[in-house]
Amino acid sequence: MELELVKISKRRDLFSKNISIILSLTKDRTFTTTQLTKFCKELREKGLVAQTFSHYNLVTELSEYLAKHIKIEIDGDFQSIFSYDKNIGVDRMLLGFKKNSFYSMSSALYILNISKFRGEFIFISQELSKKNGSHIKTTLTQDAIDSAFKKDYRRTQKIGKYQEKYLVFLYPKYTDYFEVVTREDGVRHSSIHRAFVEMIVNVQYFKDSLHIIDTFKPLKSKLDLNTVFEVLKRFDFIYPYFQCVGFYLEQIGFSKSELERFKAEVGELKFYTDKKMDSYLYDEYWKIYYIEKGE
> pLDDT value at position 132?
59
d(CA 209, CA 276): 13
Cβ–Cβ under 8 Å, residues 121 and 169:
no
What is the CATH class of 2-83? mainly alpha
Q: What is the mean pLDDT of the chain?
A: 92
What pLDDT does residue 128 have? Answer: 95
Q: Is the model's pLDDT at 286 over the cut of 60?
A: yes
Least confident of 67-76, 134-143, 230-239: 134-143
pLDDT over 50 at 5, yes or no: no
**Residues ≥6 apart with Cβ < 8 Å to 268:** 287
In this predicted structure, the answer to whether residue 134 has a pLDDT above a threshold of 90 is: no
Q: Give residue-wise pLDDT tens across range 222-251.
A: 999 999 999 999 999 999 999 999 999 999
pLDDT at 158: 84
Contact partners, residue 107, CB within 8 Å, separation at least 6: 118, 121, 122, 123, 124, 189
> Does 270 score more than 70 pLDDT?
yes
| pTM: predicted TM-score of the whole model, two decimal places | 0.90
Q: How far apart are CA 288 and CA 248, in angstroms?
A: 10
Least confident interval from 130-144, 168-182, 220-234: 130-144
Please answer whether residues 105 and 123 qualify as being in contact, where contact means their C-beta atoms are separated by less than 8 angstroms.
yes
Helix (H) or strand (E) holding 193: helix 192-201
pLDDT at 9: 54
The string of pLDDT tens digits covering residues 12-61 is: 689 999 999 999 999 999 999 999 999 999 999 999 999 999 989 999 99
The side-by-side arrangement of strands in the sheet containing 102-103 is 77-83, 68-74, 159-162, 165-170, 121-125, 102-103, 188-190, 180-182
Contacts of 150 (CB under 8 A, 6+ apart): 275, 276
pLDDT value of residue 30: 94
Domain ranges of the chain: 2-83, 90-130+141-290
- pLDDT, residue 77, reads 82
